Amino acid sequence: MDDTYAPLSGNDLGSLLQRMSVASSAAIAPAPRRLRPEFTKFETHPLYREMQLQRSLAEFALIQNPYYRMHEVRAGATTVIDGRSLVNFASYDYLGLNGHPHVIEAVETAVRTFGMSVSASRITAGERAIHRELEASLAGLYGAEDAIVFVSGHAGAVSTLATLLGPKDLIVYDALSHNCVVVGAKLSGAARRSFPHNDFDALEELLDEERERFERVLIVTEGLFSMDGDMPDLQRLIALKEAHSAVLMVDDAHGLGVLGKCGKGVFEAQGIDPRSVDLWLGTLSKTLVSCGGYVTGSRAVVDLLKFHAPGMVYSVGMSAPAAAAAKAALDVMVAEPSRVARLQKNSLLFHTRAKAAGLDCGASCGAAIVPVYVGETVRALALAERLLARGFNAFPIIPPGVPDGSARLRFFLTANHTTDHIEAAVAVTAEEAANVAGLSAATILSRVKAL
């Protein structure tokens, strides 16, 4: 045998195995830990850095930060910011019920009876009669078997989606659906698909291709879209959900108090039986001038949510005063349809005047929410600031809240705005929109490079 391949002795073999073991251990040993103290500071967070860059650009363009402005009085059709009285188009108080005597009286009674907090989740120690009364009123509004109210509208929607759907299911939602729907869909673990805004042919094609792969399929849309101010074709959606054995949820947070002769929402505006929709989702913070959210539907779905939705089971119950405010506001809405009529008249006036002035209102139907499209973010911020200087508070909506290139000012109309408020606001907006037409991020960046 060739000596090159002679077998090792026992001692040699043992020595070789020992060396191999040491070498192997060294090869797989973790590298010395590298401390990264920069990641203990949130100043290095990419989102924070992006915010700082945006603020720097705004400062260079002499644009003030429009966020978290301090209101010094109850904000409705008018408000006071920095000691200045302003006509306010940034309030959800559509029917002017914030501060209504009946609402104040109901809140005062609830405070005296129950205090400010229910101190625990409703499932353990937080149930109060006013919760059940509010839920019964909401269920009655939609002809539903039952309703559930959450302490937060956003968390309520997220909890509902995350509880009702799972990995074997599919959630299909309008591309312009509110963030709460997108977040809830992600947390549910269900498959997710979006369809182009109000494109029901695309939705039908999607359902034809995908439906059979899943157990439950939930279709989600809004009754009045919060950024664009338009409505879906509810009858078409109902037909699609029935044809594909799906469940339909409509978020009518902005439709309540706004749409329909009595303000009941999109179903009333379009002459639809509300029971044709499986789940109605809404908030108590807009027309109902309180805080929180609700879902109406069958007894089974509400029972399921009351015992399994994290936003109900693991959250403190809604305060009795907040529930009383919402219940009282709903009672006033039903008793005083003239408020709805005034809101609709004001909305139509603003929408008509804005379009006549050459302002781009997109697909808005002129019902409480009227966007004025500007395009570039910097231009929208500048326009909002110029309006504020001239006595009008209208909030700029910019990416990522809306798609790139679609920045806008969003005007919320209320029943308490006057004709003078509206006429003046439209005239000033048209004038200042022309003044900022040439302002863009590219212009500002070119100035920076020139320095």
Whether residue 23 is contained in a domain is answered as no
Assess whether 162 and 188 both reside in one domain: yes
Residue 434 included in any domain: yes
Supply the pLDDT for residue 19.
Answer: 57
Per-residue pLDDT of 29-75, as tens digits, reads 666 677 777 788 888 899 888 888 877 777 766 677 888 889 999 99
Query: Do 315 and 350 belong to one domain?
Result: no
pLDDT value of residue 444: 55
Kindly state whether residues 74 and 158 are assigned to the same domain: no
Q: What digits encode the pLDDT tens for the residues 363-402?
A: 999 999 999 999 988 889 999 999 999 999 999 998 888 8
CATH number at residue 108: 3.40.640.10
**Residues 330 and 349 placed together within one structural domain of the fold:** no
Average pLDDT (326-334) is: 98
Long-range contacts for 118-124 (Cβ within 8 Å, ≥24 apart)? 118/316, 118/317, 118/318, 118/319, 118/320, 119/316, 120/316, 120/317, 121/312, 121/313, 121/314, 121/315, 121/316, 121/317, 122/306, 122/312, 122/317, 122/318, 123/306, 123/307, 123/312, 123/313
Nearest one of 150, 272, 176 to 228, comparing CA atoms: 176
What CATH code is carried by the domain that includes residue 397?
3.90.1150.10
Pair (114, 214) in one structural domain: yes
Answer yes or no: is pLDDT of 4 > 50. Answer: no
pLDDT of residue 65: 80
Q: Is 254 an annotated catalytic residue?
A: yes
226 catalytic, yes or no? yes
Regarding whether 342 and 250 lie in a shared domain, the answer is no
Q: How confident is the model at residue 210 (pLDDT cuts 50, 70, 90)?
A: very high
Q: What's the domain range around 286?
A: 101-335
Q: Looking at the structure, do residues 237 and 275 belong to the same domain, yes or no?
A: yes
In this structure, the answer to whether residues 156 and 198 fall within a common structural domain is yes
Asked whether residue 244 falls in the same domain as residue 311, the answer is yes
Same-domain check for residues 294 and 402:
no
5 falls within a domain: no
- On average, the pLDDT of the chain sits at 91
Catalytic residue among 131, 178, 254, 351: 254
Catalytic residue among 286, 327, 351, 421: 286
pLDDT above 70: percentage of residues in the chain: 89
Instruction: Answer yes or no: do 250 and 292 share one domain.
Output: yes
Looking at the chain, the whole-number percentage of residues with pLDDT higher than 90 is: 77
User: For the segment 418-446, what is each residue's pLDDT rounded down to a tens digit?
Assistant: 999 999 999 999 999 999 887 766 665 55
The pTM of this model reads 0.87
Candidate from 67-71, 315-319, 321-325, 357-361 with smallest mean pLDDT: 67-71
> Which of 226, 315, 347, 406 is an active site residue?
226
pLDDT, tens digit, for every residue of 223-267? Answer: 999 999 999 999 999 999 999 999 999 999 999 999 999 999 999
Of 285, 307, 335, the domain-final residue = 335
